[in-house]
Structure 1
């Protein structure tokens, strides 16, 4: 009998925010996979290790996923990662692929999931708490009220166009364009709040645009609510 691939969301950073189902799934899988050159470099592994017992005793697949926009390079990496996983599934081993936040939101995992599923293997997705929900809770405020719209926007999107959208704008992984984001917010006389490394030991909250460093962590999220103007 062939194994099953589980895409497991480990939540935004605090191990205690992992769901019981996520922990249970990881515990029952003999093999885990992380999108990094080694588990010591995988944030998702560090989070899971804070609550999953004996995680270091499991076989670990290191899935190399380069930080590039070159689709050919990425597709080759996704295929190679899928091949690693399929090799384990063929041996009847279940594999838990750990991913930060939720596997369905801007996740590298989903590309691997699609390939493995297309090859006829059993797959499941175990959802996790998305980072922007954790950010909202940390700020003790809602993301949207009543009929307001919510826009989740990656840093690769046109920032100026994004800020023209109605409702609340959540800028994901904004660090790559931080100087531009800050300048655009100031130009439009808009305010926002940024949380860096939400739920992690290095967490930091910036309530003013001028306080935000140009070189923020990769795991930085800015929330811009409608009506927040200087």
Structure 2
């Protein structure tokens, strides 16, 4: 009998935000897939092992996921990752694939998930706490109220038009484009706050575009709110 793939969200950084289901699946299954070349060095692993110490004794499977926008390279890595997991499923092993936040939000896991499903295997998604919800909670404010809209935007791409949208804008994955993102925020006179490394020991909060550092961590999330009415 073939195994089942569980794409498991482990939340944004605080191990206490892992769901009971995520913890149970890690405990009940012996094969854990982790994005990256070295599983123990993965942020996802380092978060999960704090909540489930026995994770350190599991069979850890590295699934390399290079940070690149090269379509051909991405396709090849996703294909190899899916094939590696399918070999384990064919051996009758359930595989728990750890992924930060929630697997349905800008997750590299999704590309593997779709391929495994297309190849006829049983693959399931296990929700996790999203980074933008955790960041808003850390800032002690809501994301949206009443009829406000919420827009989740990959900030590494064009954001000028996105900043014109009404409601709250969540800018994810700014990365190396942080200086340009900051400049756009200043030009638009936006009310912006940022949480860096949300839920981790190194968490930092910034309460204006001017405060945000140019060299912020990859795990940085900006929340742009409409100006308060006087």
CA deviation map 1:117-173 (0-9, x unaligned): 111111111100000000111111110011010000002332211110110000012
Task: Give the equivalent residue in structure 2 for 1:139.
Answer: 139
Q: Is the 8 A contact 1:135 1:195 kept in 2?
A: yes
Aligned equivalents of 2:117, 2:149: Cα separation in 1: 33
Report which stretch shifted further, 105-114 or 158-167.
158-167
Cα offset, 1:181, TM superposition: 1.0
Task: Give the equivalent residue in structure 2 for 1:58.
Answer: 58
Cα offset, 1:60, TM superposition: 0.9
Q: Which runs of 5+ in 1 are unaligned?
A: none
1:174 aligned to 2:188? no
Aligned equivalents of 2:162, 2:121: Cα separation in 1: 38
Q: How does 1:126-165 map to 2 (within 5 A)?
A: 126-165=126-165
Secondary structure at the aligned position of 2:153 is classed as: strand
Task: Give the equivalent residue in structure 2 for 1:28.
Answer: 28
Aligned equivalents of 1:180, 1:191: Cα separation in 2: 16
Secondary structure at the aligned position of 1:120 is classed as: coil
- Output the TM-score relative to the length of structure 2: 0.97
Aligned equivalents of 1:29, 1:118: Cα separation in 2: 23
Task: Give the equivalent residue in structure 2 for 1:96.
Answer: 96
Task: Give the equivalent residue in structure 1 for 2:115.
Answer: 115
Task: Give the equivalent residue in structure 2 for 1:195.
Answer: 195
1:12 aligned to 2:15? no
Q: Is the 8 A contact 1:136 1:143 kept in 2?
A: yes
1:46 aligned to 2:46? yes
Report which stretch shifted further, 144-153 or 181-190.
181-190
Task: Give the equivalent residue in structure 2 for 1:204.
Answer: 204
Secondary structure at the aligned position of 2:51 is classed as: coil
Cα offset, 1:228, TM superposition: 5.2
Aligned equivalents of 2:11, 2:123: Cα separation in 1: 20
Aligned equivalents of 1:152, 1:160: Cα separation in 2: 14
Cα offset, 1:191, TM superposition: 2.2
CA RMSD of aligned residues (A): 1.1
- Output the TM-score relative to the length of structure 1: 0.97
Moved over 2 A (4+): none
Secondary structure at the aligned position of 2:53 is classed as: coil
CA deviation map 1:195-214 (0-9, x unaligned): 00000011000012211110
Q: Which runs of 5+ in 2 are unaligned?
A: none
Secondary structure at the aligned position of 1:152 is classed as: strand
Aligned equivalents of 1:53, 1:213: Cα separation in 2: 34
Q: Is the 8 A contact 1:169 1:224 kept in 2?
A: yes
Aligned equivalents of 1:130, 1:176: Cα separation in 2: 22
